Amino acid sequence: MRIFENKDGLTIDSVEKVNSLDTRGLLYVIAYDGVETDHINFQIDPIEAVGVNGLTDEAMLAIYTHRVESMITKDLHGDLIRAHGLLKQVGSLLASYHFSKALTEPA
């Protein structure tokens, strides 16, 4: 499923299934002009149960935090504004998810 596309030909697709495994939110393919250039694999199942098999959320947030801090030190104003907007969107999404989860799960 396409989750991102820009005018320069960069696309990001979420891989929804691998064989019979539901991989929504776990595997992403990055392409430029239709040619796969990279992919991101997130951890599938707890590390304690299966070992390390992908990137954890904490690791991805550490990478993104470092990227934003680097933008600040380089004074990349336009990139920083875009990054700040994305962080606000992610924060809103996480807040709404946790709120809706709290409403639907028993105490």
Between 80 and 2, residue with greater pLDDT = 2
Indicate the domain borders of the chain: 1-55, 56-107
Tell me how far CA of residue 63 lies from CA of 34, 59, 60, in angstroms: 26, 6, 5
H-type alpha helices, the chain: 47-50, 57-74, 77-104
Q: Which pLDDT tens digit goes with each residue over 14-68?
A: 999 888 888 888 999 999 999 999 999 999 888 999 999 999 888 888 888 787 7
Helix or strand or coil: residue 55?
Answer: strand
Between 72 and 97, residue with greater pLDDT = 72
Q: Which of 49, 47, 53 is nearest to 23 (CA)?
A: 53
